[in-house]
Structure 1
Amino acid sequence: MSEDLETAAVNTGAEPEAVSTGEFNIRVVVNGVSQGWWTDNGSPEWWITTVSDQSDSTTWTWVDYNGGRYLKKSTNNYLSYRSGNVIYSTGLKMRAWAYAARWNYDPRSKQLSSVDNDNALVGRNGDYFYCNGENVVELELVAV
């Protein structure tokens, strides 16, 4: 399946310049208990998972662009999800700017939702994360 058929988030044009909003790590919390820190599992798929130590986790920044908010790891490396893959539908992963998804974060509830997936909340299933509103987790943005 081609890359463009596996996601609903499609951005055109050059990657925007990031205006620094501060860097942070993301801690996963369920029922008040830390479940680790967000990172990706690397090549070939770059799925979002957790590591136990903050020092091993991904450092993120927000990119505000054209009315949307994007979570950026590094140049041309953004949080997104798969929508066209039957097995991993709505699974969170790192993707290029062209496939970066827009996100909303509520600091009061500590919940992240996918603008591009009907504002579905981010949850966890096993070792991986999805924007499907199931098994919703709290995500704490911890400044670095």
Structure 2
Amino acid sequence: MSVAFAKEESAETASETILPARPISDRINLVTEAGFKMLQDELTRAQQSFEAASALEDVNEKRRQSAVPIRDMRYYAERVRTARPMSVPTSNEVITFGHTVTFERDDGRTQTFHIVGEDEANPSQASISHGSPVAIALIGKTVGDVVRFGERELEILSIS
């Protein structure tokens, strides 16, 4: 094997085994109880994947298979460490973290979203992060309020 080939392989292996960290926002890490459990489960999954990769005999394959689990373990360990589990809101008077809000857009469409933590947000499943522009616009408002959101208006129909 030529030295040039060995160096190329080493550079390739290094780029596959050292992944950049997953970005973590500087927002407070509020989570629902379900969101906290999800973070813990993801950390456990990453640890199990790392253990499986560590059992491989081929050093290069071990490094390749360990890269994602190592990155994910760091991310989820930090998210679990900084998580602030929030209890379910006791009042539906004013929109806060954990509420489900239904609003009507000025184009006539009605939407409903649950305001949750960043890691558990999934707009296609009707949940949005407490740090999303829509949630920021809604938090602190009450039923009947009309919220200006960019060029649009949202009228709050219900809070649960």
TM-score range, shorter chain: 0.3 to 0.5
Q: Which fold has the larger relative contact order, with Cα–Cα distance below 8 Å and residues 6 or more apart in sequence? A: 1
**Larger helix percent:** 2
Q: TM-score, normalised to structure 2's length?
A: 0.30
Higher-Rg structure is 2
